[in-house]
RNA sequence: UGCCCCGUGGUGUAACGGCAGCACGACUGACUCUGGAUCAGUUAGUCUAGGUUCAAAUCCUGGCGGGGCAGCCA
């Protein structure tokens, strides 16, 4: 479903164009993860590919998640597989349905028209089916449904919490095998006994409990007989392992807390390391792709899978380096702080690096995908320049955004020799990059607004725009020459410019072939739509707000000028019909998007998505320095 | 300083023992009814020291540098 109200044929054109690009890119793009998948397929270790995107519903998805989504869906797409959306919700105290909903929306939006056909969900309310293995053990399996197979039935994302019962079962099995035990040590004791990086830990006093006692205690843990923190279930591995995570890690903790998805059914909750790999297994995941910090957990991921006698092929975990983008932060905790402390208007504030924020700001999903494709994937720490993301936004919007004229900081121009009360209409091209976008009518009259930046009483070197005695073109209208200015006597500020037009230049071309150095945009004062436009800049003033120096706080680097609200901009009247979410290029300024929340019928409010490249600003800056 | 991972132009990423390439950026110029777009060009890189080899970004060893790991978080 297109996210805005573009015409049907325009949306179709975008899709076929995108499809071609995807094919081209995928034919050549490869990375170490795709090579692993390729080899697994070639060797027959797996016969098809199933990946998963497993966010914890404790915050909104951001551009870093977009990288992961594009990777997981991209791999599935490239190798004819599928990708499950799973809420990794094993901690009841941190998660919330608000996040489940936003995550689902954001994933669908990001992959729409690209990989939405392989987004695997499951029937609403479905839990894993059980079958007996040849060894007589329970095998839990919950395959998902592709959109093509749902046939109108209600579906929902997968939830790790839907596997609490199977997981409990697997835990029991581990206890029976003597590979897990109930431990009564306090959190502090466990912590102290874990040892340190260079000294081995100490075994739990309860490590030698009998299978029967462990079974009994674990069942009573589930039954709610013990308070929070009283006991844990631990894997029995090796307290002197050099890898800390192998030192009898905790599998279950007691939490008498309501869970957003399972309610009060449980008071024991599985830990990530125990739950994740087995959740992957239950869903039939073949390749479990995560970020680098989980690399040291990989032996544990494999240990749980190997410790059980599982019937089907094991998933494998592989890790890649998370995305960092300059001038922004990726930590969900910190993003939450921005929201809670009111530094932004919400998770979807257009300044946020969240998917919902970028969507609201006007970033097309295609641009975000192209960005993720271009940055590649590897294992080294990386910080991608924000400019690259913006490049893809401009690149995409340039091809599809209809042009319009808008004056952000109006300066009145009176064309003295133009007849009072006369109005005429000019035909303006909607998109010079796309002839099929057609033209529109723009009204013109004696008084027009131009951008304050487009007039200088004393033009600096190389300034080609309007100034006294200079002739410029009003885009698609007439050539005009500045004849004088009116100033505010108190401040000396130019409040009005006077000009004359050449009637022979109707449409913008001079019959005598004379050239002008500059074309500027304008809006007829009598016809202008006055509305609010919001300009955005980076949220932080430093390249790496995540790495603030000792004693500092990332909040100290917030950009006080990250938003500028212009209350009375003058737009060409056709923009009154802008649908919420519709994207335009305001000529010579940038790309703008009608805010989906604040726009009213006939009264859109615009967000600046990204500026156009500004060569003049560069020249001016160079001249100043 | 225990274990694990990683070092290629300013940034990101290729090259899988055989010509160090691509994209963004930066800089020139052309073109232009958007100082946009487009087009042409320039700039700039294998952390380091040894070793193996006809040949090393790639394999081996050491050094240096960066990152991760000691939640009953994920």
- Read off the pLDDT band of A625 (50, 70, 90): low
Residues A545 and A607 in one domain: yes
Whole-number distance in Å between A68 CA and B59 C1': 32
Residues A605 and A519 in one domain: no
CATH number at residue A422: 2.40.240.10
pLDDT value, residue A622: 83
Q: Is residue A374 part of a domain?
A: no
Residues A248 and A216 in one domain: yes
Residues A210 and A170 in one domain: yes
Residues A489 and A595 in one domain: no
Nucleotides of B under 7 A from a protein CB: 1-8, 10-16, 23-27, 33-38, 66-74
Taking the C1' atom of B13, which residue's CA lies nearest? A376
Q: Which residue has the tokens 């209208």?
A: A477
Residues A249 and A342 in one domain: no
Task: Name the nearest CA neighbour of A120 among A90, A156, A151.
Answer: A156
Residues A412 and A514 in one domain: yes
Whole-number distance in Å between A161 CA and B26 C1': 51
Domain end point (choices A496, A528, A560): A528
Residues A549 and A507 in one domain: no
CA count, 13 A, side-chain hemisphere, A291: 15
Q: Which residue has the tokens 């009375």?
A: A568
- Coil/strand/helix, residue A444: strand
Q: Is residue A288 part of a domain?
A: no
Domain end point (choices A528, A562, A597): A528
For the annotated catalytic residues of A, the residue numbers are 56, 322, 332
DSSP letter, residue A242: S
In the numeric block, which tokens belong to residue A154?
A: 């209600």
Residues A458 and A515 in one domain: yes
Whole-number distance in Å between A439 CA and B59 C1': 63
Domain of residue A488 covers 403-528
Q: Is residue A369 part of a domain?
A: no
pLDDT of A13 above 80: no
Q: Is residue A17 part of a domain?
A: no
Task: Point out the nucleotide closest to A197 (alpha carbon to C1′).
Answer: B2
pLDDT value, residue A357: 98
- Read off the pLDDT band of A14 (50, 70, 90): very low
Distance between alpha carbon A108 and the CA centroid of its chain, in Å? 11
CATH number at residue A181: 3.90.800.10
DSSP letter, residue A185: -
Query: pLDDT tens digit string along A18-52?
Result: 333 443 343 457 999 999 999 999 999 999 999 99
Q: Is residue A157 part of a domain?
A: no
- Read off the pLDDT band of A7 (50, 70, 90): very low
Structural domain count of chain A: 3
Domain end point (choices A221, A241, A270): A270
Residues A494 and A594 in one domain: no
Residues A503 and A518 in one domain: yes
Residues A522 and A554 in one domain: no
Residue A552 or A336, more confident = A336
A261 with A159: CB under 8 angstroms?
yes
């Amino acid at each position: 479903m297109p996210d805005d109200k573009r015409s049907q044929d325009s949306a179709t054109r975008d899709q076929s164009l995108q499809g071609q690009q995807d094919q081209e890119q995928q034919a050549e793009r490869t990375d170490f993860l795709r090579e692993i998948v390729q080899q697994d397929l070639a060797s027959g270790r797996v016969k098809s590919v199933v990946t998963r995107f497993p966010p914890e519903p404790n915050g909104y998805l951001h551009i870093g998640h977009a990288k992961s989504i594009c990777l997981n869906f991209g791999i599935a797409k490239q190798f004819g597989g599928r990708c499950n959306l799973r809420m990794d919700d094993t901690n009841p105290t941190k998660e919330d349905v608000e996040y489940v909903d936003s995550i689902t929306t954001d994933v669908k939006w990001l992959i729409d028209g690209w990989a939405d056909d392989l987004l695997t969900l499951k029937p609403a309310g479905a839990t894993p089916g059980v079958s007996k293995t040849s060894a007589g053990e329970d095998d839990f399996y919950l395959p998902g449904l592709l959109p093509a197979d749902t046939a109108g039935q209600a579906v929902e994302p997968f939830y790790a919490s839907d596997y609490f019962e199977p997981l409990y079962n697997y835990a029991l099995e581990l206890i029976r095998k003597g590979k897990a035990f109930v431990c009564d040590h306090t959190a502090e004791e466990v912590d102290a006994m874990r040892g340190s990086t260079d000294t081995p830990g100490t075994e739990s006093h309860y490590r030698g409990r009998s299978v029967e006692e462990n079974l009994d205690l674990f069942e009573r843990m589930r039954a709610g007989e013990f308070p929070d923190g009283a006991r844990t279930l631990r894997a029995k591995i090796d307290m002197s392992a050099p890898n800390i995570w192998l030192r009898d890690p905790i599998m279950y903790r007691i939490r008498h807390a309501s869970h957003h998805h399972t309610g009060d059914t449980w008071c024991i909750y599985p830990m990530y390391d125990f739950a994740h790999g087995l959740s992957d297994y239950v869903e039939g995941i073949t390749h479990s792709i995560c970020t680098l910090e989980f690399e040291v957990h990989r032996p544990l991921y494999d240990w749980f899978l190997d410790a059980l006698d599982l019937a089907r092929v094991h998933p494998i975990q592989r890790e890649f380096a998370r995305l960092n983008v300059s001038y922004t932060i990726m930590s969900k905790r910190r993003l939450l702080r921005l929201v809670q402390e009111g530094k932004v208007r919400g998770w979807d504030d257009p300044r946020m690096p969240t998917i919902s924020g970028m969507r609201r700001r006007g970033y097309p999903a295609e641009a975000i995908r192209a960005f993720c494709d271009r940055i590649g994937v590897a294992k080294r720490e990386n910080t991608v320049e924000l400019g690259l993301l913006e490049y893809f936004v401009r690149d995409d919007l340039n091809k599809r955004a209809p042009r319009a004229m808008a004056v952000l900081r109006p300066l009145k121009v009176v064309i003295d020799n133009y007849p009072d009360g006369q109005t005429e209409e000019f035909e303006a091209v909607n998109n010079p990059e796309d002839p099929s976008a057609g033209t529109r009518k723009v009204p013109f009259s004696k008084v027009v607004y131009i951008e304050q930046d487009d007039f200088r009483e004393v033009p600096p070197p190389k300034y080609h725009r309007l100034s006294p005695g200079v002739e410029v073109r009003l885009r698609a209208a007439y050539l005009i020459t500045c004849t004088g200015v009116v100033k505010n006597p108190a401040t000396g500020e130019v409040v009005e410019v006077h000009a004359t037009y050449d009637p022979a230049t109707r449409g913008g071309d001079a019959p005598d072939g004379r050239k002008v150095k500059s074309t500027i945009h304008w809006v007829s004062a009598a016809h202008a739509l006055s509305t609010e436009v919001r300009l955005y800049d980076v949220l932080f003033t430093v390249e790496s707000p995540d790495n603030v120096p000792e004693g500092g706080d990332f909040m100290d680097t917030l950009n006080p000028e990250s938003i500028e609200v212009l209350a009375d901009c003058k737009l060409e009247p056709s923009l009154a019909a802008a649908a919420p979410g519709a994207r335009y290029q305001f000529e010579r300024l940038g790309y703008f998007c009608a805010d989906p929340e604040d726009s009213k019928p006939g009264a859109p409010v615009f967000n600046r998505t990204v500026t156009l490249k500004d060569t003049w600003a560069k020249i001016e800056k160079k001249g100043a320095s």
